[in-house]
Amino acid sequence: MNLVILVACCLLLEVTVARNVRREVTDDGKNLDPENPNNQFRIADEDVYDSTYLPIYEEEMVGKYGSGEDIIEGDIKVPPVGKFESLAQKDEVYRWPKAIVPFGIETSYTKDEKTVIAKAMLEIETQTHIKFVPDTHRRHIWIAKKSGTCTTCCLSYVGMIQQWSRQQVTLGSGCVTVSTIQHELMHALGFWHEHNHPDRDNFIRIHWDNIQDNQERNFNTMDISRLHPSVYRIGYDSGSVMHYISTAFGKTGSDYRQLVTMEGINGNTVPETDGPISKKDVQKLNTLYRKEYAAGAITIIPRDELNKAQSDGHEGSWGFSGMCPEDQFVYGYRIRTQAPEGDNTGLNDIELQCAAKGSTSYKTIYSKYAEWGKWSEFMYCSGTDNPVVGFDMLMEPKQGSGDDTAANAMDLYCKDGGYISASKLTERGTWIPAQNCPTGKAVVGIVTRVLDDQGEGDDTALNGVRLFCRKY
């Protein structure tokens, strides 16, 4: 990863979320970070060691490096002395329960930046068991632009810090790229750097003389005892998003370029630029979180590669996932559609209604949306033990020089075999094949793909939908 010296602050913070206006979530003022008194976020628009290794404690670092500083390997924050003595015993304490990672994000990020963050998360979600859920009521990661006085920091702790209700992932200036975001999120999920793998000397050569003074420690290998056996068997991965680039921590050469510090051997290569999450990263995440996934058992439908399913539409960016509370499922919905006049956008917004089994007290969830058109009435599957288990969509392909609409309507299928159909203002397109949860599961969440306002161009608004399912 591009290296920036990192710092972070983590707060023991219990956050109460209040929906003051539609689609806005703000901190209520309790225990605010004194450096960021106006922290708030808006989500509308839009096993844990390295994965493999157990975290290093401050005491170990002091003994190993002879200093008490709490930043190692460029972007890893080490918990303070005295807070984590009890975490050494069981690796499970570093894992996010049921593979669900609640998060909050500052409003200081632009709409485009939030789109990139959502894309990075969704690429992990669609390939692994991990789910990122906007929720600061419980232990969560807090995505912020600033750590202390540093505005260019990229930083994360490694794994879930059980003693804190909030742990910060810092994505400062220059850090909001898909690969960098995935790198820091992988730290938060429990991964350390791949170039510190105990077997790395079989795959790469370290040029120690080219490393900046006092930075040699960043190339120490991990003790094999820290490795999860199943993850270890997956092997070293020079293509990992967790692998630093070939010039990491390099001295400046006579041509004013950074010297190479890592070189591939035995047919291996070291990346020269940052790359996305790799196939082995996915395999390791799914290995480490298999137990948590089995407990949470969340499936995304359809399972096709991102932007390749019929229900994905043909343009726009994905928003954040909207998820029901842990003990609830989707029982109803409404849609916002636009009548066929002028630049018609068809389907613009979807709201799902979550409730606990046997209850009629509903919570509304949603993902990215547009504001054109009119709302339908709410439609519900009959009874209180009949959740939504699938969907289909009225979709229109690209019209060439004509007016595009993409998605135009959505129906939901109920557990009892029936379906519900919210009223719509357009009939354009054809119904695509239904997508259903695996047997025994029901819908618990949604993520949507929306094309932002095109100004004088052709607007299509909501293009795509995917739903999340969990064991019912």
**What does the pLDDT look like over 66-118, one tens digit per residue?**
233 365 555 565 554 333 322 222 356 678 888 889 999 998 999 899 999 99
List, in sequence order, every residue forming a beta bridge with 151; answer none if it has no partner: none
Average pLDDT over residues 149-177: 86
Measured CA to CA in angstroms, residue 187 lies from 35, 52, 73, 268, 397 at distances of: 24, 10, 12, 24, 40
- Determine which of 182-196, 278-292, 431-445 has the lowest per-residue pLDDT on average: 278-292
Average pLDDT over residues 292-319: 80
Residues 368 and 260 in one domain: no
Residues 157 and 203 in one domain: yes
Measured CA to CA in angstroms, residue 331 lies from 323, 382, 393, 413, 432 at distances of: 13, 8, 18, 10, 22
Tokens of residue 456, six digits: 């004088």
Quick check: 43 pLDDT over 60?
no
Q: With beta carbons less than 8 A apart as the criterion, state whether 206 and 219 touch.
A: yes
Chain segment 369-384, per-residue pLDDT in tens: 988 889 999 999 999 9
Average pLDDT over residues 306-325: 85
Contacting residues for 347 by C-beta, under 8 A, at least 6 apart = 335, 336, 337, 394, 405, 406, 407, 408, 409, 410, 424, 461, 462
N- to C-terminal Cα separation, the chain: 41
pLDDT attached to residue 465: 94
Q: With beta carbons less than 8 A apart as the criterion, state whether 128 and 285 touch.
A: yes
Maximum C-alpha span of the chain = 75
Residues 64 and 101 in one domain: yes
DSSP state of 37: T
Q: In angstroms, rounded to a whole number, what is the distance separating the alpha carbons of residues 247 and 264?
A: 12
Which residue among 270, 296, 322 closes a domain?
296
Quick check: 2 pLDDT over 60?
no
Q: With beta carbons less than 8 A apart as the criterion, state whether 387 and 381 touch.
A: yes
Average pLDDT over residues 5-22: 26
Residues 305 and 328 in one domain: yes
Residues 254 and 332 in one domain: no
pLDDT attached to residue 51: 25
Q: In angstroms, rounded to a whole number, what is the distance separating the alpha carbons of residues 229 and 87?
A: 19
Residues 126 and 33 in one domain: yes
Residues 170 and 228 in one domain: yes
Q: What are phi and psi of 410, to 5 degrees?
A: -145, 135
Quick check: 431 pLDDT over 90?
yes
* Closest among 2, 141, 172 to 74, alpha carbons compared: 2
pLDDT bracket for residue 56 (50, 70, 90) = very low
- Of residues 399 and 129, the one with the higher pLDDT is 129
Tokens of residue 337, six digits: 């559609």
Quick check: 30 pLDDT over 60?
no
Q: In angstroms, rounded to a whole number, what is the distance separating the alpha carbons of residues 403 and 430?
A: 16
Question: Rounded mean pLDDT of the chain?
Answer: 77
Average pLDDT over residues 391-411: 85
Tokens of residue 41, six digits: 């976020």
CATH of the domain at 429: 2.100.10.20
pLDDT bracket for residue 163 (50, 70, 90) = low
Residues 283 and 344 in one domain: no
Tokens of residue 427, six digits: 């009939």
Chain segment 220-262, per-residue pLDDT in tens: 887 777 667 777 788 889 889 989 889 989 999 888 899 999 9
- Of residues 274 and 407, the one with the higher pLDDT is 407
Q: With beta carbons less than 8 A apart as the criterion, state whether 166 and 10 touch.
A: yes
Residues 288 and 348 in one domain: no
pLDDT attached to residue 39: 29
Measured CA to CA in angstroms, residue 402 lies from 343, 352, 405, 453 at distances of: 10, 31, 10, 18
Tokens of residue 159, six digits: 């794994």
pLDDT bracket for residue 346 (50, 70, 90) = confident
Percent of the chain whose pLDDT exceeds 90: 37
Say how many C-beta atoms besides its own lie within 10 A of residue 269's C-beta.
13
Residues 283 and 312 in one domain: no
* Closest among 391, 462, 467, 395 to 431, alpha carbons compared: 395
Q: In angstroms, rounded to a whole number, what is the distance separating the alpha carbons of residues 308 and 241?
A: 23
Residue range(s) defining the domain that contains residue 351: 298-471
Domains identified in the chain, total number: 2
* Closest among 168, 188, 201 to 242, alpha carbons compared: 188
Q: What are phi and psi of 443, to 5 degrees?
A: -75, 135
pLDDT attached to residue 18: 23
The b/e string for 14-39 (b: 16+ C-beta within 10 A; e otherwise) is ebebeeeeeeebbbeeeebbeebeeb
* Closest among 120, 95, 57, 269 to 191, alpha carbons compared: 95
Angle (CA) 155 157 158, round 5°: 125
Residues 9 and 104 in one domain: yes
Report, in this order, helix, strand and coil percent for the chain, each rounded to 5: 20, 25, 55
Which residue among 296, 330, 360 closes a domain?
296
Which residue among 241, 276, 296 closes a domain?
296
Residues 174 and 196 in one domain: yes
pLDDT attached to residue 288: 82
